[in-house]
Structure 1
Amino acid sequence: MLRTGLFFDAVRLSAEVVHARAGGGDRDAVERVFREAGVECGVIVNPARRWYYVLVPCGTAASWDESGTEALGTACFLGVPAPGRGGPPGAHWLLGPPLGAEGLCGPGAVKAVAVAAAG
């Protein structure tokens, strides 16, 4: 478990909503939803809890207000898989880990996923 808010914040999206937009839970279709919104890396899947977590810059949680999502900032911890863990069982990377702070997802891209998924 890593504390959010130190090196990154995270935005949690419901698998139910993302899968509805993707037309199911097929990995390629789900990846496409994220990539079409501009999210290229930093997406964790927790299949047991049915959540997707997108890593975003520190401070994002303080002003995040997108309905149907939750931003995790300094008061939270997140189970982050090992960098090479690209599949189940357990939490794994849908889109690989960012290579430093510059690789974190932009909040606008994550909002685009949330809007597309809710649409």
Structure 2
Amino acid sequence: MTVQHVTSGAERQLATQHWLSSASSDPAQTRREWQERPVAMLSCGSLFAAVRIPADLVQAAAQQTDEALIDVYLAGALHNGPVICDRYAHWYYALVPASTARRWDVPDTVCLGRKSSLGVPRPGINRASGERLYWSVPMDSAAALCSPYAVVQLVMHGR
């Protein structure tokens, strides 16, 4: 008889938190920061890169301005790949494999790689939290990133 272990959402969230924090020079400090604040600064370029997309381009692709509907759209368009929304700066950040930054050349976007940092919300912070930065599409598990190809399709559709 095979015993299957079901991984709970809380376990996946903790694994994601540990994975993300390993992008910092002091992962334990980053996890402590997340306990005190909703955002920690992480280095891009080792574990992941982040494609910065203007909110108006995402809204054009989704044909929506409602955050909740945009979140649903992004989850579908990016196959549940993780996306961070910065409500005040009007940017979305699609997390992609780190190697993406070396060859990224997509109009109206920037790919943050080595020598870049990104404010990353604590896993679990969503739109309803009211925070400036939130997970528009949560990172479902450690190392689960957006397909660069899907991000390119999203951007071109919005353009």
Give the alignment's TM-score, normalised by structure 1: 0.89
Q: Distance between the aligned counterparts of 1:100 and 1:69, measured in 2?
A: 25
Secondary structure of 1:79's aligned partner: strand
Q: 1:44: how far off?
A: 0.1
1:110 aligns to what? 151
**Partner letter of residue 100 of structure 1?**
A
**Partner letter of residue 16 of structure 1?**
D
2:45 aligns to what? 5
Q: How many residues of Structure 1 are paired with residues of Structure 2 in the alignment?
A: 117
Q: 1:78: how far off?
A: 0.2
Q: Distance between the aligned counterparts of 1:36 and 1:82, measured in 2?
A: 22
Structure with greater proportional helix content: 2
86-95 or 49-58, which moves further after superposition? 86-95
Q: CA RMSD in A?
A: 1.5
Does the CA-based 8 Å contact 2:43-2:116 persist in structure 1?
Answer: yes
**Partner letter of residue 71 of structure 1?**
C
4+ runs deviating over 6 angstroms: none
2:77 aligns to what? 37
Q: Distance between the aligned counterparts of 1:98 and 1:5, measured in 2?
A: 20
Q: 1:36: how far off?
A: 4.0
- Higher relative contact order, structure no. (Cα contacts within 8 Å, ≥ 6 residues apart): 1
Secondary structure of 2:45's aligned partner: coil
Post-superposition CA distance 1:18-61 (Å, at most 9, x none): 11232332124313442443331310000110000000011101
Secondary structure of 1:75's aligned partner: coil
Larger radius of gyration: 2
Structure 2: give runs of 5+ residues left out of the alignment.
1-40
Q: Percentage identity across aligned positions?
A: 35
**Partner letter of residue 51 of structure 1?**
W
